[in-house]
């Protein structure tokens, strides 16, 4: 992990007060989501992504947490977090309904863009454990533009 990211995560770690797994003071779900999205966007930026938009709402049906560019690829990112290992992998909370809403949003973004570009859907897992820095796991190509077509899923783990 590069030095700038370590410093940023250290500062962010000082901002959050999590006890996780049911003990002590906890953030509200909304604050937890915003914090996780901030951590994920900062981490993606440090890895060369250009953040185009966060929390992009295209209708009352939903939002895309992070829209970014990595090289020529337009990336639609969904951020999921957990405070307790017993909750399971956050990736599995991106169910069929959520994937379809993300696809609808991506199609709207591409329609507004007015041209075809390479796209991908990523899921960024943020693990917020008590008294530890956030840990991130990136699932690149987590799913494709249609349900029946598997994506070339690969995983990158960063601590």
β-pairing verdict for 119-127 and 135-143: antiparallel
Asked whether the predicted pLDDT for residue 22 surpasses 50, the reply is: no
Q: Residue 126: beta bridge partners?
A: 81, 136
- Give 57-92 pLDDT, tens digit per residue: 877 678 999 999 999 999 999 999 888 766 778 888
Roughly what angle, to the nearest 10 degrees, separates helices 3-15 and 29-46?
170
Calculate the average pLDDT of the chain. Answer: 81
pLDDT for position 21: 47
pLDDT for position 50: 97
CATH number at residue 49: 3.40.1350.10
Total domains in the fold of the chain: 1
Q: Which domain holds residue 42?
A: 3-158
- Give 3-14 pLDDT, tens digit per residue: 555 555 555 554
Per the structure block, which two tokens stand in for 36?
């996780």
pLDDT for position 28: 81
DSSP line for 2-29 = -HHHHHHHHHHHHH-----TT-S----H
Phi and psi, residue 93, nearest 5°:
-85, -5
User: Tokens 């337009």 map to which residue?
Assistant: 74
24 CB burial (10 A radius; 0-12, 13-18, 19+): exposed
């Amino acid at each position: 992990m590069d030095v700038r990211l370590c410093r940023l995560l250290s500062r962010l770690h000082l901002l959050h007060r999590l006890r996780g797994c049911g003990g002590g003071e906890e953030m509200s779900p909304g604050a937890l989501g915003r914090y996780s999205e901030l951590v994920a966007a900062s981490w993606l930026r440090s890895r060369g992504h250009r953040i185009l938009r966060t929390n992009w709402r295209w209708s009352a049906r939903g939002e895309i947490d992070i829209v970014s560019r990595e090289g020529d690829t337009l990336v639609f990112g969904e951020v999921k977090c957990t405070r307790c290992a017993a909750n399971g992998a956050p990736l599995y909370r991106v169910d069929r309904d959520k994937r379809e809403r993300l696809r609808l949003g991506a199609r709207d973004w591409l329609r507004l863009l007015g041209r075809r570009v390479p796209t991908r859907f990523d899921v960024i897992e943020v693990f917020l454990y008590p008294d530890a820095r956030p840990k991130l796991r990136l699932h690149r190509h987590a799913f494709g533009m249609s349900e029946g077509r598997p994506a070339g899923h690969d995983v990158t783990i960063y601590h």
